[in-house]
């Protein structure tokens, strides 16, 4: 029995891996229906697995309330918010808007008034963090860091009207149909279309090989730590 316990998942992973690896090359309609069928299956598995998440969340917060851990009051806030959203949602039958009239339901109002501002505010904090990260990280300590810093400054400078206006002051002259110095838009355009594409290309080619190697390790059961206990 022990042998079966260890081998069963490996066999399942191997069979699934080989089958869905070869499915790509077989034009038979059956294999395509299987793909759409499989995505439906994962909707079901994902839905059922949600219970595990809820158990873990409730366990950690109820434990905090029972233990009167510091600031346990906030776990209460979390539960109240959770059950209000859930209750109102079920009351409005998961409809944010009444389809005929286009009128907003309470659930829709709750979503628009609470979730949208919270999400867009968290998103906009990125602007602050971009500035503090730039200030702290762009130090010309090494040759590479200097290149990073110069490229960032050029692109930032070129993207805004003030940058364009300042750059336009530099006199340009024609050399054989080419204006020297080229407009700042062309410079950043060239950096993004050539240097950036080359680096992204090189990195993603490497990633592809890494992904293939990792997938093969999983299918052939060489990498099986995702299954945890081998006892």
19 makes contact with another protein (CB under 8 A): yes
31 burial class (0-12, 13-18, 19+ CB within 10 angstroms)?
middle
214 makes contact with another protein (CB under 8 A): yes
3-state SS, one letter per residue, for 31-82: HHHHHHHHHHHHHHHHHHHHHHHHHHHHHHHHHHHHCCCCCCHHHHHHHHHH
Cβ at position 66, least distance to another protein in Å: 14
For residue 178, the surrounding DSSP H or E stretch is strand 178-180
Contact positions with another protein (CB under 8 A) in 145-174: 145, 147-157, 159-165
91 makes contact with another protein (CB under 8 A): no
d(Cα 77, Cα 178) in Å, to the nearest integer? 65
7 makes contact with another protein (CB under 8 A): no
User: Whose Cβ is closer to another protein: residue 26's or residue 171's?
Assistant: 26
180 makes contact with another protein (CB under 8 A): no
13 makes contact with another protein (CB under 8 A): yes
Which residues are CB-contacts of 221 (< 8 A; sequence separation ≥ 6)? Answer: 10, 13, 14
Number of residues that bind another protein (CB under 8 A): 158
The count of C-alpha atoms lying within 13 angstroms of the C-alpha of 202, restricted to the half-sphere facing its C-beta, is 5
Find, among 224, 158, 229, the residue nearest to 189 by Cα. 158
37 makes contact with another protein (CB under 8 A): yes
Cβ at position 1, least distance to another protein in Å: 10
Contact positions with another protein (CB under 8 A) in 48-87: 48-54, 56-57, 59-60, 63, 71, 74-75, 77-86
Contact positions with another protein (CB under 8 A) in 188-207: 188, 190-207
Question: Taking the C-alpha atoms of 62, 68, 72 and 77 in order, what is their torsion angle to the nearest 10 degrees?
Answer: 60
176 makes contact with another protein (CB under 8 A): no
Cβ at position 68, least distance to another protein in Å: 16
d(Cα 218, Cα 119) in Å, to the nearest integer? 37
Structure tokens at 9: 């998942």
Contact positions with another protein (CB under 8 A) in 125-144: 125-141, 143-144
181 makes contact with another protein (CB under 8 A): no
Cβ at position 173, least distance to another protein in Å: 18
Considering only 36, 68, 122, 175, the residue that binds another protein (CB under 8 A) is 122
């Amino acid at each position: 029995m022990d042998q079966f316990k260890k081998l069963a998942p490996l066999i399942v992973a191997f069979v699934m891996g080989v089958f869905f690896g070869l499915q790509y090359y077989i034009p038979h309609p059956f294999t395509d229906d299987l793909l759409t069928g499989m995505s439906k299956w994962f909707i079901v598995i994902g839905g059922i697995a949600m219970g595990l998440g809820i158990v873990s969340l409730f366990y950690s917060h109820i434990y905090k309330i029972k233990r009167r851990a510091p600031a346990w009051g906030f776990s209460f806030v979390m539960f109240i918010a959770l059950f209000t959203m859930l209750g109102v949602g079920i009351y409005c039958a998961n409809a944010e808007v009444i389809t005929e009239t286009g009128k907003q339901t309470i659930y829709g109002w709750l979503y628009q008034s609470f979730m949208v501002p919270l999400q867009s505010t968290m998103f906009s904090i990125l602007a602050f963090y971009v500035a503090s990260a730039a200030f702290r990280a762009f130090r010309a300590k090494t040759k590479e860091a200097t290149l990073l810093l110069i490229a960032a400054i050029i692109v930032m400078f070129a993207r805004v009207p003030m940058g364009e206006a300042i750059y336009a002051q530099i006199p340009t002259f024609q050399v054989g149909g080419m204006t020297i110095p080229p407009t700042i838009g062309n410079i950043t355009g060239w950096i993004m279309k050539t240097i950036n594409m080359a680096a992204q290309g090189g990195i993603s080619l490497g990633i592809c090989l890494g992904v293939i190697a990792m997938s093969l390790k999983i299918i052939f059961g060489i990498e099986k730590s995702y299954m945890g206990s081998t006892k």
